[in-house]
Chain A
Amino acid sequence: MQRMREWLEIRIGLDELIRSQLTEYRVPKNINLFYTLGIVAFVAYLVQSLTGILLLFYYIPDDKDAFQSVQLIMNHVPYGWLFRLIHVVGSNLMVAVVLLHVVSVFFLGSYKKPRELTWVVGALMLLTTLGFCLSGYLLPWSQLSFWATTVVTNIPTAFPVCGELVCRILRGSETVSGVTINRFFALHVAFLPPVLMSLFALHVFLVRRIGISAPPDGSEEEGEWQQFRHEDHPNGPPFYPYFVSKEAFMIVLYFIIMFSIISFAPALFLPPDTSVPADPFSTPEHIRPEWYFLAPYQMLKLIPNRFLGIALQLVLVAVFIFWPLIDKSEKANILKRPRLLALFLGTIVVWIGLTLWGSR
Chain B
Amino acid sequence: MERRRFIKLLSSLLGLSALGAFLYPLLRFLTPSEASIAAKKVTVAKGDIPAGTTKDLMIGLTPAIILNGRDKGFLAFSKVCTHLGCLVKFHPERQVFICPCHNGIFDLEGNVVSGPPPKPLQKFSVKVEGDKLVIG
The answer to whether A and B belong to the same complex is yes
A residues engaging B (CB < 8 A)? 54, 57, 76-80, 82-83
Residues of A within 8 A of B28 (CB): 78-79
**CB < 8 Å A-B pair total:** 24
Q: Is the CB of A82 within 8 A of B30?
A: no
CB distance from A87 to the nearest CB of B (A): 12
- Docked complex Cα distance between A76 and B30 (Å): 12
Residue of B nearest to A77 (CB): B29
| Chain B residues within 8 Å of chain A by Cβ, number | 9
Closest 6 CB pairs of A and B: A79-B25, A78-B28, A79-B29, A79-B28, A82-B25, A78-B29
CB distance from B11 to the nearest CB of A (A): 9
| Interface: B19 (CB within 8 A) | no
Residues of B within 8 A of A82 (CB): 25, 29
Residues of A within 8 A of B29 (CB): 54, 57, 77-80, 82-83
B residues engaging A (CB < 8 A)? 25-26, 28-31, 33, 35-36
* 19 A-B pairs (CB sep. < 8 Å): A54-B29, A54-B30, A57-B30, A76-B33, A76-B35, A76-B36, A77-B29, A78-B25, A78-B29, A78-B31, A78-B33, A79-B26, A79-B28, A79-B29, A80-B29, A82-B25, A82-B29, A83-B25, A83-B29
CB distance from B116 to the nearest CB of A (A): 32
**Residue with the greatest number of chain A CB neighbours at <10 A, chosen from B25, B29, B31, B36:** B29
Residue of A nearest to B14 (CB): A252
CB distance from B34 to the nearest CB of A (A): 10
Residue of A nearest to B31 (CB): A78
CB distance from B48 to the nearest CB of A (A): 29
